């Protein structure tokens, strides 16, 4: 299983943008909400499950989109189902580890 990611530094913290690969390039719209899952933000490279788990555990700021991505995150104890929101039927979750 692969995941599409982009890792960057944001104010001395590791920021991970991660999503299901099939979502890259899509624009989600629902009422006043819009989410652009751009290649420049989420699609730097593809990684396998093991690397995705490591990045999820070690990143301070995480923006994630997609059922497979969020399911992986929840299964390793990163994030909570209570924080999951949906736009156009696609789940997203943002995590800040302080």
Among 33, 44, 57, residue whose Cα is nearest residue 4:
44
Residue entry with tokens 């624009």: 27
Mean pLDDT across 31-60: 95
pLDDT for the residue numbered 61: 96
Mean pLDDT across 68-91: 95
* Residue 63: both structure tokens together: 């923006």
Tens-place pLDDT, residues 28-42: 999 888 899 999 999
2-96: CATH class: alpha beta
Find the Cα–Cα–Cα–Cα dihedral 52, 66, 62, 71, rounded to 10°: -60
- Under the banding of pLDDT at 50, 70 and 90, the label for residue 24 is very high
Residue entry with tokens 């692969």: 2
Return the domain boundaries, the chain.
Answer: 2-96
What's the rounded Cα separation, in Å, for the pair 68 and 82?
A: 17
pLDDT for the residue numbered 11: 87
- Under 8 Å between Cβ of 27 and 74: no
Whole-model pTM?
Answer: 0.93
């Amino acid at each position: 299983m692969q995941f599409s990611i982009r890792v960057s530094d944001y104010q001395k913290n590791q920021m991970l943008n991660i999503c299901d690969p099939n979502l890259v390039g899509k624009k989600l719209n629902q009422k006043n909400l819009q989410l652009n899952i751009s290649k420049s933000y989420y699609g730097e490279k593809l990684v396998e499950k093991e690397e995705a788990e490591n990045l999820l555990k070690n990143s301070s700021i995480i923006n994630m989109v997609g059922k497979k991505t969020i399911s992986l995150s929840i299964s390793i104890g990163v994030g909570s189902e209570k924080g999951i929101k949906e736009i156009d039927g696609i789940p997203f979750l943002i995590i800040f580890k302080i």
